[in-house]
Amino acid sequence: MADFTRERDAMVDSQIHTADVTDRRLLKAFRTLPREKFVPRSRLALAYADTEIETASGRFMMRPRDLSLLIHMVDIQPGELVLNPASGRGYAAAVLSRMAETVVCVEKDETLVEKSSALLADAGCDNAVVVQGDPANGMPGQGPYDVIFVEGGVEAPPRAWFDQLKDGGRLAVVISKGAIGKATVFQRSGDSIGQRVVFDSSPRLLPGFKREAGFVF
């Protein structure tokens, strides 16, 4: 039987620490949350591997290194409200729930809504809620948000995401325009949106997020 506690520690030590992730709250989240619970049984052997993991048709968990570094770079504070579009089975939301006050997840697939809700509850993530809807539309009724965090690549972020950011709010997402994507943090300042590329990353493109449906920046 796999020793998931040992594998979890090894993931943090070899994949996350080495990416210069230093936030103690974030490191604790990765060290204590049971990532294996969020992975399909058929892929349990990959739960702590340095690779993407397919969790549903066309849906993937990001590499632990990339996920942790993008969360680190968006600098979530304890009192903040976070939107997590296209939340999948909920592992990123679980990590985010350890960083923020509240996490609102938006997922289109009804099966994933039910599955992720149960997994988050089992992990004790009582401050994370999963709502069925179109991730590209966000969830304006619950916003505006301090942070919008997207696990996966998009060709261009939808305008709705920017519209739902508070002044000073940040959007963290990988912009996939070619073989190498750019993990990017956008920040609203009044009516303006600034951006900074924080590292290279190549997660799979989220279904439905091609450029023609996106926001041109």
Q: Where are the alpha helices (DSSP H) in 75-109?
A: 91-97
Structure confidence at residue 211 (pLDDT): 62
Alpha-carbon gap, residue 159 to 168, rounded angstroms: 16
Structure confidence at residue 85 (pLDDT): 98
Instruction: Examine the pLDDT at 125 and tell me if it is beyond 70.
Output: yes
Structure confidence at residue 216 (pLDDT): 46
For domain 4-213, give the CATH number.
3.40.50.150
Please report, rounded to a whole number, the percentage of residues in the chain having pLDDT higher than 70: 96
Between helix 24-32 and helix 64-74 the angle, nearest 10°, is 150
The mean pLDDT value for 100-129 works out to 97
Q: Where are the alpha helices (DSSP H) in 33-165?
A: 64-74, 91-97, 110-122, 159-163
Q: Which two tokens stand for residue 118?
A: 């149960």
Phi, psi of 16 (to 5 degrees): -95, -50
Please report which confidence band the pLDDT of residue 115 belongs to, taking 50, 70 and 90 as the band edges. Answer: very high
Instruction: Examine the pLDDT at 214 and tell me if it is beyond 50.
Output: no
Per-domain residue ranges of the chain:
4-213
Alpha-carbon gap, residue 177 to 182, rounded angstroms: 8
Alpha-carbon gap, residue 200 to 174, rounded angstroms: 9
The mean pLDDT value for 50-71 works out to 95
Please say whether the beta carbons of 31 and 8 come within 8 A: yes
- This prediction's pTM: 0.94
Instruction: Examine the pLDDT at 35 and tell me if it is beyond 90.
Output: yes
The mean pLDDT value for 5-13 works out to 97
Total residues found in the chain within this entry: 217
Please say whether the beta carbons of 175 and 71 come within 8 A: no
Structure confidence at residue 215 (pLDDT): 46
Each residue's pLDDT tens digit, 172-199: 999 998 778 999 999 999 999 999 999 9
Report the chain's mean pLDDT, rounded to a whole number.
94
Q: Where are the alpha helices (DSSP H) in the chain?
A: 4-11, 24-32, 64-74, 91-97, 110-122, 159-163
Please say whether the beta carbons of 97 and 149 come within 8 A: no
Please report which confidence band the pLDDT of residue 1 belongs to, taking 50, 70 and 90 as the band edges. Answer: low
180 alpha carbon, distance to own chain's centre: 19
Cα dist from 10 to 6, 50, 153, 179, whole Å: 6, 11, 26, 29
Please report which confidence band the pLDDT of residue 159 belongs to, taking 50, 70 and 90 as the band edges. Answer: very high
Alpha-carbon gap, residue 214 to 10, rounded angstroms: 38
The mean pLDDT value for 138-146 works out to 96
